Amino acid sequence: MGILSKAAVTTSVTKPVLTAKTVTRVGTRAGKSVSAWSLGLVGAVGGEDAVDVLTRQHRQIKLGFLRAALPGPPRRRNFDRLMRLLAIHEAAEEAHVHPLARRVLRHGRELTARRRHEEKEAKRLLVALWRTGPDGPGYLRRLNEARRAVTRHAAREEREEFAALRRAVRPSRLRMLGSEVKLAQVYAPTRPHRWVNNEVMNKLAAPVLGPVDRVRDAVRHRVMS
């Protein structure tokens, strides 16, 4: 039998031995780490449910229309913020919220068809408003037309669709839907595109038009600054 070197003896003595108890303890720690990571991810996205997220944005949109009407140098910035919020808000609704409502609500198909019709009309007005811009002729008239269409649509959504979703869908599923809404808005286009007006087109357009719009926004803001 050969003589073990000092290094070999040291290694054999100090090397830990995996027992069933050790493996269980390590596995438990790993499980806790995964759980903590999952909770951190949910916390980063936010714990709001979809109805809370979208209702809060409805209030922000109403205020945004008022700010976009104010004269002076901030008008361009307020206008851009309003159009961006409207674009990402509608993109998330059309891609995630209306499809769920269509599936789970009684008469969901008819209800969401009415909302989509309203959104198409509002988007037509928003495209015209975008082309006019805050310095173009007839801006305030177009802004007011879009404001009336959008606020009427938002009120019907809250009264009919959102209230029904609260009754029909579990709170945990609504929170998951809230995360889907927020993630969709990260990648959504930031200006109105008239032909992007349903679930399929929004999901197809997001990875293409979203980055393009954001690059164009950055260039325009750099030029204006």
Residue 3 lies in a domain: no
pLDDT at 199: 60
- The 8-class DSSP code of residue 170 comes to -
Please tell me the distance from the alpha carbon of residue 70 to that of residue 170, in angstroms, as a whole number: 42
Residue 112 lies in a domain: yes
Query: What pLDDT, in 10s, does the model give residues 84-116?
Result: 999 999 999 999 999 999 999 999 999 999 999
Query: What pLDDT, in 10s, does the model give residues 11-68?
Result: 433 333 444 444 344 344 434 433 343 344 444 445 899 999 999 999 999 999 999 9
Residue 142 lies in a domain: yes
Please tell me the distance from the alpha carbon of residue 72 to that of residue 218, in angstroms, as a whole number: 22
Torsion of CA 44, 47, 49, 54, to 10 degrees: -50
189 is in which domain, residue-wise?
A: 48-224
- pLDDT above 90 covers a percentage of the chain that reads 59
Residue 6 lies in a domain: no
DSSP secondary structure of 101-142: HHHHSTTHHHHHHHHHHHHHHHHHHHHHHHHH-TTSTTHHHH
Residue 8 lies in a domain: no
Residue 4 lies in a domain: no
Q: Scan for tokens 């806790």, then name that residue.
A: 32
Residue 13 lies in a domain: no
Number of independent structural domains in the chain? 1
Residue 183: CATH number of its domain: 1.20.120
Q: What's the token pair of residue 177?
A: 């839907």
Residue 30 lies in a domain: no
